């Protein structure tokens, strides 16, 4: 059976080939009745657009490339999904690659996406290898950095202030009366977002004269098991921390599990906080006090930004969204001896 063509669809739907093209690329520009006729013809004929031919004709692949750290962290998946919805509604496809927090891998994956002919790129953070910045400049690919905060407005960025986000939850614990702290951070190497989140905690504790000792500040990879082992380490020695600040929710939930296994009451014996506000944070027992990140908002804006860049529209180079402290049952004021501490 011969492959259906654009002309076949147009003939069956009773419209022009140009109308079929608009229906497939920009459905919002057509009347509902016309759009339905085209879609019915597409379904009946089993038509699939010739992407290579369309790309040659328009010099566009109608594909956006994204390189993110990992899909194991649901929070990146939430941002990607929000971005995909915006792009799909405008006739673009999204190709996603994961660099596993390795900047050299990011360069290789980005090169492959550019070779594939993506129209624009979405990357995470502002720390990248010089080779990557060189590719963006040399090939003039529109791009935007997500999960990024760049006060200088050097790069097109969408994100939030990571320091303020973690300082907010730290301030909450200080105001509750906590004086003995531990911090469980994600790995900060090659990750300016993790460094900023850790700095947000330690800078505030420093200013209050409450900085924990080095053995109470631990960096761990992203996993529940690593959160468990980290909690066991920071609870060694005296005085024990009455508050443990975890710099993502997965580490925090792992820490809660370990604390329970050690016979500790949460939050009576130790308050534990996270960052991100994953869906599981609200259903774990006790509910996790955390900081809500603008994951959906970042994905939506990133999609809108690259679309604007491709159509010549002017949009702000820098978009900063607010974060929100979510107080649940995993924190409370410490015992009276801590307040005297």
Q: Which residues of the chain have pLDDT under 70?
A: 1-2, 48-60, 336-341
Omega before 245 cis (within 30°)? no
Q: What is the pLDDT of residue 137?
A: 87
Q: Residues spanned by CATH 1.10.260 within the chain? A: 6-49
Q: Where in the chain is the domain with CATH 3.40.50.2300?
A: 61-159+294-321, 162-293+326-339
pLDDT at residue number 78: 92
Separation CA 129–CA 109 (nearest Å): 12
The four Cα atoms 77, 189, 66, 131 give a dihedral, to 10 degrees, of 180
* Res 60: pLDDT: 66
Give the pLDDT confidence score for residue 58 in this predicted structure: 46
pTM for the model:
0.79
Residue 199: name the closest of 160, 234, 162, 174 by CA: 162
- Give me the pLDDT at residue 340, please: 43
Mean pLDDT, the chain, rounded, equals: 89
Which CATH superfamily groups domain 162-293+326-339? Response regulator (3.40.50.2300)
What is d(CA 80, CA 65) in angstroms, rounded to the nearest whole number?
A: 11
* CATH code, residues 6-49: 1.10.260
What would the CATH number be for the domain defined by 61-159+294-321? Answer: 3.40.50.2300
């Amino acid at each position: 059976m011969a492959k259906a063509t654009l002309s076949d669809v147009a003939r069956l739907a009773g419209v022009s080939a140009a109308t079929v093209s608009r229906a497939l690329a920009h459905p919002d520009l057509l009347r509902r009745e016309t759009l339905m006729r085209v879609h019915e013809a597409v379904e009946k004929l089993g038509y699939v657009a010739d992407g290579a031919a369309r790309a040659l004709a328009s010099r566009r692949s109608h594909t956006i490339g994204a390189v993110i750290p990992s899909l194991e962290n649901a929070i990146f998946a939430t941002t990607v999904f929000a971005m995909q919805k915006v792009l799909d509604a405008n006739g673009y496809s999204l190709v996603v690659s994961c660099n596993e927090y390795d900047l050299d891998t990011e360069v290789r994956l980005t090169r492959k996406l550019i070779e594939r002919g993506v129209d624009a790129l979405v990357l995470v953070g502002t720390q990248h290898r010089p080779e990557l910045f060189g590719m963006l400049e040399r090939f003039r690919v529109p791009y935007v950095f997500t999960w990024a905060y760049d006060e200088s407005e050097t790069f097109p960025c969408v994100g939030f202030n990571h320091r303020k986000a973690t300082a907010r939850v730290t301030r909450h614990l200080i105001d509750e009366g906590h004086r003995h702290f531990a911090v469980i951070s994600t790995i900060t190497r090659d990750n300016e977002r993790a460094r900023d989140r850790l700095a947000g905690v330690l800078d505030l504790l420093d200013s209050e004269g409450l900085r924990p000792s080095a053995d109470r500040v631990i960096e761990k990879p992203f996993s529940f098991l690593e959160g468990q082992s980290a909690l066991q380490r920071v609870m060694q020695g005296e005085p024990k921390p009455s508050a443990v600040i975890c710099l993502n929710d997965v580490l925090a939930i792992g820490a809660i599990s370990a604390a329970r296994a050690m016979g500790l009451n949460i939050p009576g014996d130790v308050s534990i906080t996270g960052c991100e506000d994953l869906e599981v944070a609200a259903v774990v027992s006790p509910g996790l006090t955390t900081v809500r990140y603008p994951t959906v908002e970042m994905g939506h804006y990133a999609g809108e930004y690259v679309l604007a860049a491709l159509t010549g529209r002017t949009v702000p180079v820098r978009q900063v969204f607010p974060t929100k402290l979510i107080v649940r049952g995993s924190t409370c004021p410490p015992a009276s001896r801590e307040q005297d501490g």
